[in-house]
Amino acid sequence: MRLPRLGLLFSCLLFFVRVPAEENAPATGAVEGRVALPAAAAVPEPSSRYELIVEPGLVRTDPPRAVVYLEGSFPPDVAAPVARIVQRDLAFIPGLLPVRVGTRVEFPNEDKTYHNVFSFSRPKRFDLGRYRADEAATPFQIFDQAGLVTLRCDIHEHMRAAVLVLDTPFFAVTDAEGRFRLEGAPAGRFILKAWIDSRTTRALPVEITAGQTLRVDLP
């Protein structure tokens, strides 16, 4: 008679072990949709590369892209995020990089020439100096203030890039059609924003439900 009782006790223990794991599962959802992008000023190339256009009082990408992100109150990252902007074929890749406040951005040089990355933007002013691809350590900067930081190369005047520093961990760059998807977002009410250029940011209140995908278009 003891064996059946032991088996029943073991089954009950397994049941009670599984329940807390299910209850503690993160309550997250997703947001996807499309942003209405402005018309491109140039014919897009077949690659995913795009250029940053810097005009008086305006910073934009061409072909156009948008950075979509959730605005709200989020816990800090466990570890400081790390991102990269590579210098390759005399261009910054990617040309537009969204990051969270506190991110360490590295600037590896993959060209057979010197580069010198610098910024005059108020959120982050710096000058990395001239360096080659064979330097022992990859230069980096920690972006600790929210805002738009425009990058240039002191040697190659045509090189441009931008770092959009955001106070949120949930962001994405749209594709050429304006499509985006944000995953792993907590359930709750937030503001969904789309950065189009330095003059234009669209916003829409949203409510995310755990286990569901919210469809939102930003006209």
The residue extents of the domains of the chain are: 29-74+168-219, 80-160
- pLDDT exceeds 80 at position 181: yes
**Averaging pLDDT over each range in 33-47, 130-144, 194-208, which range is the top one?**
194-208
pLDDT at 27: 87
Write the Ramachandran bin of 23: left for phi over 0, alpha for psi from -120 to 50, otherwise beta: alpha
39: confidence class by pLDDT, cuts 50, 70, 90: confident
Radius of gyration of the chain (CA): 23
pLDDT at 41: 66
pLDDT at 46: 44
Give the architecture-level CATH label for domain 29-74+168-219. Sandwich (2.60)
State what percent of residues in the chain have pLDDT above 90.
76
* CATH H superfamily, domain 80-160: Cupredoxins -  blue copper proteins (2.60.40.420)
10: confidence class by pLDDT, cuts 50, 70, 90: very low
Same fold, 29-74+168-219 and 80-160: yes
125: which 2 tokens?
A: 């002013």
What pairing do the DSSP bridges indicate for beta strands 160-166 and 96-100?
parallel
The Cα angle at residue 98 between residues 96 and 103, in degrees rounded to 5: 125
pLDDT at 42: 53
pLDDT at 91: 95
As a whole number, the mean pLDDT across the chain is 88
pLDDT at 14: 42
User: What mean pLDDT comes out for the span 89-94?
Assistant: 95
